[in-house]
Structure 1
């Protein structure tokens, strides 16, 4: 069986959410191949589809093909380009391959991570203007989403919370499978290591994620007014325009880093008092799982997805800055911090990229073998 993974959404030079999801799945699949794991079919072939050779710097050393960019005018012909390479199954980490895989001769698995942009339709600013306009139109009704998902043979999503929303809105009648995110292997620590690190943790607080409106970073900035002896570090890249919007809320105890390396991120997870997020909606919440796996306590907005992936975390009301501040201070008690670390490690151990990779292979194999339900 030949599986092509659409890696065209891999960012150049740094990962965002979709990019890291793709690269992590491919890395886990590559490791399974290298270990000759018995779970993989004997005839299993894995190929990446990219559109820019620079993407290879962010991906594992696997065979690859090049086709059009997903934002180019040739995207409607993407399936025809893939046909030339004779895949049995194609997996996309997004919900699009051309116009619903028009003309394809392979089985197709599409991914819907979340339904956030129906509530917050503002598109990412890095997309070309025509794509941003199409984005808004696309998210004005569920009909285009239903068309795309039903054009596939199976649909993947990253959490039970999103799967429930997909069913609630009747977005597809295709097989629905969960292929969740997971912590990066290099950031996972043992309970002994995590508890020992508590004595060296500082009063630094960290945020990792985009600055899209639904991320609700504003609540975190307001919480810092009640925490003058703590410092919040916003680690992610931020556009000058968005930074200018947030600066009036940021006190002297807030630092904008505008991006950090993976190694720097791991170091922050190893010494910070807590990772924070006040998101209004999420499909999964990868930084949460990464922090818990690294033994870093988390304080989260009380929304369904965080109750799913981190049920033992410390929660605060999404828009209540005072509650966030109180939850953060509560972690300064040694017994509370120890319990948060132990609980967080158990929460994060439910997820691994290897398990997600095997679920992808199993789904692809069932489609390849012609089973009615993947």
Structure 2
């Protein structure tokens, strides 16, 4: 098969999130399906990790996502690939691209938390315009996609809840854990510390974590709090709060390269993940893979993905229950770390990119054969 993938989010500056998903998926599929030819639409092909691979071609698509240019220019570039299968790894499929495609939907946060766009836009009218435009595009994408790949059963159920989608249109492919390079111990705090990794978007509930810290910092004066992630406008708000309220021993190291990230995870007393909504929940799995105890909200997706025997859950959005869970771990750190060590091998075996690649290639094969038959098998779907 000749497979085209929108790989614009892949690159040296997008080492996590959808960029990581695309890179690791392609790398694994080249091993699992060496008979296939891949065409990657990349912003800068010269930085692609697959630049000289014999089974990979590149088309330059230096177009920022979520823009008018994306809507106008990407359809022609996708057609230029002359592919049997077109895979868009996010819901930003151009409205003007009317050829068959399959799409990955990582979560439906846009439906669950409709005011998130309003928070990131200054003018209320523009915020609402942005929100309804995105939601309309998402509805159009779901209605046109021949196959929809999702990371968890939770997201599959969400798609079924919000849209008229048949079971055979959805496929759960999971996600995988990447291999970390050797740990870099530079910059790691000395002593005990709680660690968070990820974005500071409102649904991540760092506000709740800082609320908990106002209590924990007093009862554990030898403890530090490290919040790692890009210092964007959202993280800046938490940094301002820490400064204004004079919250002690809170550190913001910014975005960490994988080598430093591994060092932080291996040395942290525990990893805290207060997110209220996820499509998969990779950071706490990464923590477990590095033998780090995890305290997490009991959001449905996290209950599905994380091993219950090794994770200390608290009620989603409940500050006092978060404090209770953290206190439980701190009360017996050796036992908590032993539980994380037992779970480490399990999560590494369960969540592999090889498994994701095999399931995705199976979806491509299904798409390819249905396309040859004119998608007649799906003509009666809702």
Instruction: State the TM-score, normalizing by the size of structure 2.
Output: 0.81
Q: Which residue of 2 aligns with 1:341?
A: 341
What SS does the corresponding residue of 2:38 show, helix, strand or coil?
strand
Q: Does 1:145 align with 2:143?
A: no
Q: Which residue of 1 aligns with 2:313?
A: 315
What SS does the corresponding residue of 2:68 show, helix, strand or coil?
coil
Runs of 5+ in structure 1 lacking a partner? 190-200
Matches within 5 A, 1:133-282: 135-138=130-133, 144-173=137-166, 175-186=169-180, 203-225=192-214, 226=216, 227-240=220-233, 242-249=235-242, 251-282=247-278
RMSD: 3.1
Does the Cα contact within 8 Å between 1:26 and 1:60 map onto a contact in 2?
no
Aligned length: 349
Q: Does 1:91 align with 2:104?
A: no
Residue 255 of structure 1, CA deviation: 0.3
Aligned in 2, Cα 1:178/1:322: closer, same or farther, shift over 3 Å?
same
Q: Which residue of 2 aligns with 1:75?
A: 70
Q: Does 1:117 align with 2:110?
A: yes
What SS does the corresponding residue of 1:281 show, helix, strand or coil?
coil
1:14-47 per-position Cα deviation (integer Å, ceiling 9, x unaligned)? 43411121122122223x0xxxx5xx263x1112
Distance 2:67 2:369 in 1: 33
Q: Which residue of 2 aligns with 1:23?
A: 23
Deviates more, 1:317-326 or 1:129-138: 129-138
Does the Cα contact within 8 Å between 1:187 and 1:293 map onto a contact in 2?
no
Residue 131 of structure 1, CA deviation: 9.5
Distance 1:85 1:58 in 2: 17
Does the Cα contact within 8 Å between 1:154 and 1:176 map onto a contact in 2?
yes
Residue 119 of structure 1, CA deviation: 3.0
Deviates more, 1:55-64 or 1:126-135: 126-135
Distance 1:125 1:8 in 2: 26
Residue 240 of structure 1, CA deviation: 4.9
Distance 2:80 2:122 in 1: 28
1:181-225 per-position Cα deviation (integer Å, ceiling 9, x unaligned)? 221123799xxxxxxxxxxx9522211111111100011112223
Residue 338 of structure 1, CA deviation: 1.2
Aligned in 2, Cα 1:304/1:187: closer, same or farther, shift over 3 Å?
farther
Q: Which residue of 2 aligns with 1:48?
A: 40
